[in-house]
Structure 1
Amino acid sequence: MLTFASMRSAVTAPGFDGIARVMYWLMTRNVASRVISYTDPLTGARSLPGAIVASPSFATDGTGDTTQNYVFHWVRDAAIAAAEIAASGSRAGDPLVDLRMAQYAEFAATCQAATDDLATAVFTIDGRPRQGWSLQHDGPALQALMLLGAAERLDGPARDAARGVVERDLAFVVERAHDPATNLWEEVSGQSLFTRAVQLRALRAAPDNALGAAIPAGAPDVEAWLAARIPDHVDGNGRYLSVLDAQLRPDYDPNIDVVLACLHGAIPATDPHLLATVAELRRIWTDPASPFRYPINDIDAAEDLGPLVGRYPGDVYDGDNDPTDTTRDVVGHPWPVCSAALAELHYRVAAAIANDAAPPADDLSRPFFAQVGASGVATSEAVAALCRAGDRILRAIVSHSDHLSLSEQFDKESGFEKSVRELTWSYAAFLSAVRARRRVRPGGGG
């Protein structure tokens, strides 16, 4: 039986594999099947198998925790969660995982058939486009990557469905890569580094794919063009800018979506511009002199936990207000998604150093390594320091969770969970970080 005492014990002496197993089952409650089904709170429609609900929260669900309705299938969020489901089973085949992958592929095909524009970012849980939502270009690339990676789990009609979905997704990337679109956080329209990075990774993964999906004409040229655009996002300080050619809110950079562009896209973990950006992200939420510092990080630091991080310093969304109201004081809070992404970045850098046997030593990267005590030390000590840094962040997420249930955000003052509950992406981000940790220390996760 999971008790508060046992959970705190796991946090103190990290047992991340065991924690991840619990979070996996909490996440998969949001995956519709023939056994688990959801009802659309607006229309009464029943979910189709394979729909991945972003969160079971909606404004009138009786909890009073949020004004938002997340009972929808976001293409981006669903692909990220589905990747964790695919990674959860044995490579020899896990019948339940394979079934979920088949249902995911077939639901993706249903959604594609219901729209003429694959920039449609959100679908109802019965496979219809959500009306009045922004157009986004990252979902098709992430969906294609997920299905290409899960090819060995698919056969028969599900494999045929996945092949068709991937071919349409890749064609969309080639046709629309040059176009601006709404960014990852669904707030501004422009040229997004995250979108470009995941599109580039999808095109690089496409040749000789195991699904037998056809590669669209012009793919190599678009791939080369996207690769050449990544440096355009570097600012005068050597850090990445998240969105170009956009009307940005104040203090929109540094933005954690740059880290997500590494985890889900084609930005290397040891990219000096990325590490310079991460060092600044960490500073703004921990430095006592920063106006954006989260008070909860001061409390956690005394317990050797954290830090928790948010989306960007000028965030005004807390899950309960109108995010278009820019007259409000800054009220942004840390997110499990963002914090787990930061932890995973540390593990990925550790793995890269362990493989190359030498940490980067350039001026842009130096502040990142100095923050975690990984500069000027032996390679093995640098790897250990980076792993400890990631562990502190994951322990903070667990410590502030509601008995391992994860919401969208943590309150920056109290650390209590807030906004929509049981956010699928929060679980997926934690699971992905734990998998990255295992790659540093084979055979161990906790």
Structure 2
Amino acid sequence: MQRLPMGSAWMEAAGDVTRAQAYRAAAQEIRQRLDAHFDPDEGVYVCRFANAADRPSAAPARRLDMAVPLGVIHAARAEGPHSVLDPKALATLARLEEFFEKKYPINQERASDCAPAMGRYAHDSYCSGGAYYFSTFGAAQFYFRFAEAIGRGAMIPVSAGNRTLLADMLGEPRAALAAASVEPPFRERLFKAFLARGDMFMAMVRAHTPASGELSEQFDQTTGAQTSAKNLAWSYAAFVAAFASRRAARRLMAC
């Protein structure tokens, strides 16, 4: 969706007004469809619709799906709805973290400096059913992207959907974040907190990566042993993307 407005501007500059308008209209339609994926009762974006009426009533196993946070980071929107700064997107990732923390035995036994290993969705029956390297790296990248946005000076919206999450990250009472956006006294602390949270996901992967550095598709949710496709390109690509986002955020910290 990010590419459509860019394409629209490019076509307009090239004098093709018809295509520019078509690209803008397509982007607007996609935004509206994405908005419909939010379930106000659950407070999360759901991955799929189960009926033709386009309502957020996906099958229970797919209501929470790591595809949503992955879609957010891949879209690379700088801010606004469906970006990492979207309170609804952060709430969706937080709910996924809670789910996999309880579901996977390796998460209940993890070190204190590790975030939970992430899977795809409930009742995933493919091979070991997760955890997935690309999902766990994706969670790390989400937090690194958030930290980078803070470092670049983006407005951090505060709403009912993310006030508790942000307050917990800061170690502050909810009332301290009553404003519509995070105030300057909290920005540096929040930057460091999100960067540290991303590092915790990276630490979880490191704890379940063999000395060879090879990354399969999954590491077993009970034993941590590698399973599923060996040397999966997506796992390596997710590592590279997460590391690049971390480096971009840390450069801003040094400024």
Residues 209-244 of structure 1: CA deviation (Å, up to 9, x unaligned): 8xx8x8983222212211222211110233101112
Residue in 2 aligned with 1:263?
73
Say which SS state the counterpart of residue 384 (structure 1) adopts.
Answer: helix
Specify which structure has the higher proportion of helix.
Answer: 2
Cα distance in 1 between the residues matched to 2:114 and 2:155? 27
Contact 1:408–1:420 (CA under 8 A) maintained in structure 2: yes
Is 1:435 the equivalent of 2:244? yes
Contact 2:170–2:186 (CA under 8 A) maintained in structure 1: no
Identity of aligned residues (%): 28
Cα distance in 2 between the residues matched to 1:436 and 1:374? 25
Residue in 1 aligned with 2:191?
383
In terms of Rg, which structure is larger? 1
Residue in 2 aligned with 1:229?
33
Residues 281-321 of structure 1: CA deviation (Å, up to 9, x unaligned): 111122xxx4xx2111122234x222110001221212xxx
Residue in 2 aligned with 1:208?
10
Contact 1:347–1:437 (CA under 8 A) maintained in structure 2: yes
1:232 counterpart letter in structure 2: A
Q: CA, structure 1 residues 215+283, in 2 after alignment: closer, same or farther (shift >3 Å)? A: farther
Cα distance in 1 between the residues matched to 2:207 and 2:147? 24
Residue in 1 aligned with 2:143?
346
Residues 313-362 of structure 1: CA deviation (Å, up to 9, x unaligned): 221212xxxxxxxxxxxx52210100000001111111222233764332
Q: Any residues of structure 2 matched to 1:162-181 within 5 Å, and which? A: none
Say which SS state the counterpart of residue 255 (structure 1) adopts.
Answer: coil
Cα distance in 2 between the residues matched to 1:296 and 1:227? 37
Say which SS state the counterpart of residue 46 (structure 2) adopts.
Answer: coil
Contact 1:359–1:382 (CA under 8 A) maintained in structure 2: no
Cα distance in 2 between the residues matched to 1:438 and 1:335? 23
Is 1:299 the equivalent of 2:109? yes
Cα distance in 1 between the residues matched to 2:168 and 2:220? 24
Q: Any residues of structure 2 matched to 1:389-428 within 5 Å, and which? A: 389-402=197-210, 403-428=212-237
- CA deviation after TM superposition for structure 1 residue 249, in Å: 4.6
Cα distance in 2 between the residues matched to 1:371 and 1:422? 37
Residue in 2 aligned with 1:176?
none
Q: CA, structure 1 residues 370+309, in 2 after alignment: closer, same or farther (shift >3 Å)? A: farther
Unaligned stretches of 5+ residues in structure 1:
1-199, 319-330
Contact 1:374–1:386 (CA under 8 A) maintained in structure 2: no
Cα distance in 2 between the residues matched to 1:216 and 1:419? 47
Cα distance in 2 between the residues matched to 1:408 and 1:242? 21
Residue in 2 aligned with 1:243?
48
Q: Any residues of structure 2 matched to 1:39-438 within 5 Å, and which? A: 200-206=1-7, 207-208=9-10, 217=19, 218-236=22-40, 237-245=42-50, 249-265=59-75, 266=77, 267-286=82-101, 290=102, 293-302=103-112, 304-318=113-127, 332-356=129-153, 359-370=156-167, 372-373=169-170, 378-402=186-210, 403-438=212-247
Contact 2:144–2:246 (CA under 8 A) maintained in structure 1: yes
Cα distance in 2 between the residues matched to 1:417 and 1:300? 17
Cα distance in 1 between the residues matched to 2:110 and 2:223? 10
- CA deviation after TM superposition for structure 1 residue 386, in Å: 1.0
- Report how many aligned residue pairs link the two structures: 225
2:240 counterpart letter in structure 1: L
The alignment's C-alpha RMSD in Å is 2.7
Residues 232-290 of structure 1: CA deviation (Å, up to 9, x unaligned): 1110233101112459554212111111111111421110110111110111122xxx4
2:47 counterpart letter in structure 1: S
Unaligned stretches of 5+ residues in structure 2:
52-56, 177-184
- CA deviation after TM superposition for structure 1 residue 423, in Å: 0.4
TM-score by length of 1: 0.46
